[in-house]
Structure 1
Amino acid sequence: MNKQIRMANIPENIKFLILKWKSGSLTADEQAMLNAWYDEELPAELEWYGDDEPALKERMYAQVRDVMESEVVQTGKRRNLRQLGWVAAAAAAILLFFTLSPYFRTELGKTGEIISAASTAQQIKKIILPDQTIVWLKGDSKLKYPEAFGSRIREVELIGEALFEVSKDKDRPFIIRAADYSTKVLGTSFNLKVDPKTGELDLAVLTGTVEVTKKGVGMGKAKAYKVEANETLRSKADEWGKPSITLPDAQLATLTAGTEYDMNFVSEPVEDIMKRFEEKFNVSFEGYTGEYKSCKVTADLTDQSLEKSLKLLSLSINADFKVTDNTIRLTGGGCF
């Protein structure tokens, strides 16, 4: 399993509070603020991807040593870990992470295995996740996800850009980690792009509501925005934006180009709709011998799960359906 932990930069106001703490001049309110940062922000800054555990652990401790050496250069004095309050907290977080990592792996994925997928330039790669969420991974992007989601959350990591059609599950939020941003939904569709070099975010919500949180904003606290359907949100690494105007139709067409997102059918032959189902959901219809050749259907099945889409299709032609593994059989009904 590949993994890496990255520690975010400490906000300037927290550094200032640490200096006051070391000099014993913190007020009660400042102490509470510093404690809150230790309790809430530090664990949230741990992200897991990349190298193996020995290399990972060595990198973490190397970061701690680098900070200590920096103190020597700046002050001419060597401090121990107890004197470097935030570094001690970071080291403790490292130890805590490795102590709890079996639980983390169990919750992230039942088997603990992490799958990595990548798309190349000018390519869109379709990925169907364990919960049937569909991800359209766009050029030069990477997605990491567990072989099986845990019982409490569905969590993935994105580097680059992807169009998501998240399967609805009100009991298990779907969370995307991308650079300093965390995107949380229950079931919706949206296009998310975070530039790994600049940290700039570009979000366009197609359906539902998306909650975006950015780390290290303000006084050590994360800040969140809710973005509704047909809204966009753009943010630079050092500038937190607000939800923008309605998503233009032209931009929507651009975002969904090269995908099978659009499933809006107007008087479409059922046989053509069946082919679209096969292409989008990686399924096949078996036992079909032309019973619905004369049927045409008008229905908007965009952003619908396979099961719901099949229910609507079967109702429109008065048929029954049965799904076995990745094969579908339609029986009865027809058009006359």
Structure 2
Amino acid sequence: MRYQQGNATEQERAFVEQYYRQFEQEPNLSDTYTGEERAAIESRNWERLMERVAEPAPLRVAGRARFLRRWGWAAACIAVLLLAGTYYWLVKTSPAGRQQAVIAAPDPAVAVTYIRNIVLPDGSRAVLQANSRLQFPPVFSGRAREVTLIGEAYFDIVHDHAQPFIIHTGNLKTTVLGTAFNIKAWPGQESVEVSVTSGKVRVEDGKQVSVELTSNEQITYQTAAATVALHKVDAAATAARWAQADMIFRDEPLEKVAAAISKRYNVQVSFNNEQLKQCELVASFSGTEALETVLQTLSAILNIQYTRSGNQVVFDGAGCGEQ
């Protein structure tokens, strides 16, 4: 191809580069196909190109050189279009390609090795412990808002009498109307713990256990024996202490804090003023706060500003507490 050989005209080179630029931002998902599948697709498109090139050109004597140059330019255009079409087909029609267009964040139903804060369809919030999974529908449309937890999570549930919130953990079902609480239910664990920070929940196993908990109460449910023990605890101080991991900062630069926030809340953090990255701060969060609360706190500490649009957060200001 003349573009690859460096013999293309300015017009031809501009055309080719314009098409390639359209796909620079696309995720490289062609590896979802096997080598044989990719080879078959490329072979099929190459055959189509050859068929077009092999078509007899109209007979023409005068201006033959100019005509051939136009035909060579047309063949180059066809090749680029076919290559671009092949790339688009590989990326956009693959299952992974379709999924990437919809799911920007790691799926809560898939375990990851770090703690993450997620927002549920009704606006309720959950903090998932590392290696935990939470399954829920895109929209809570039934009589109840039902989720399934495997592992450990802290919940802060939006109040709704008409549509109670239900968490399934093995044999246990925890029902709430609007409260904050922690559930620990790891696979293979002999017991399940439910600790209430505020509000009221009902825990039941569908057989003989049905217990209501209020603030600073915790039950330990023995799975094999189907028995429970009720305890008084300082739930805010102990139940979800794990959620603080990576959210306590001592003389840390804002760049490192931003990286922790980005990972925990699945947002992209950038800086209009690069000097802000080196501003050090001391801050301690419970790890259960909403993202907006964390951003407001950081802004107040450093006397800076931030803007948020979707999952994009931008910090701006003079830097390090300056006016």
Normalised by the size of structure 1, how large is the TM-score?
A: 0.49
- Letter paired with 1:242: A
2:203 corresponds to 1:203 = no
Please name the residue that 1:307 is paired with.
292
Please name the residue that 1:156 is paired with.
147
- 1:168 touches 1:187 (CA, 8 Å); kept in 2? yes
Match of 1:241 among 213, 218, 228: 228
Please name the residue that 2:308 is paired with.
323
Report the count of equivalent residues. 208
1:194 to partner: Cα distance: 6.2
2:254 corresponds to 1:270 = yes
**Aligned equivalents of 2:125 and 2:314: distance in 1?**
22
Please name the residue that 2:267 is paired with.
283
Please name the residue that 1:136 is paired with.
128
1:205 to partner: Cα distance: 2.9
Task: Give unpaired runs (5+ residues) of structure 2.
Answer: 1-106
1:281 to partner: Cα distance: 0.5
- 1:227 touches 1:233 (CA, 8 Å); kept in 2? no
- Letter paired with 1:180: N
- 2:172 touches 2:206 (CA, 8 Å); kept in 1? no
2:212 corresponds to 1:225 = yes
Match of 1:182 among 173, 181, 195: 173
Identity %: 21
**Aligned equivalents of 2:313 and 2:285: distance in 1?**
20
Match of 2:109, SS state, is strand
- 2:116 touches 2:263 (CA, 8 Å); kept in 1? no
1:157-205 CA distance string (max 9 Å, x none): 23x42223x345234754212233222343535232165x89x642153
1:26-72 CA distance string (max 9 Å, x none): xxxxxxxxxxxxxxxxxxxxxxxxxxxxxxxxxxxxxxxxxxxxxxx
- Give 1:90-169 correspondences, 5 Å limit: 117-119=109-111, 126=116, 128=118, 129-130=120-121, 131=123, 133-136=125-128, 143-150=134-141, 154-158=145-149, 160-164=150-154, 166-169=155-158
1:194-217 CA distance string (max 9 Å, x none): 65x89x642153844562421445
Please name the residue that 2:50 is paired with.
none
- Letter paired with 2:159: K
- Letter paired with 1:268: E
2:282 corresponds to 1:297 = yes
Structure with higher Rg: it is 2
Aligned alpha-carbon RMSD (Å): 4.0
The verdict on how the C-alpha distance between 1:284 and 1:190 changes in structure 2, with shifts beyond 3 A counting, is: same
- 1:124 touches 1:137 (CA, 8 Å); kept in 2? yes
- 1:211 touches 1:227 (CA, 8 Å); kept in 2? yes
1:245-271 CA distance string (max 9 Å, x none): 54799x869x83xx7655233443322
1:317 to partner: Cα distance: 2.0
1:301 to partner: Cα distance: 4.6
- 1:137 touches 1:143 (CA, 8 Å); kept in 2? no
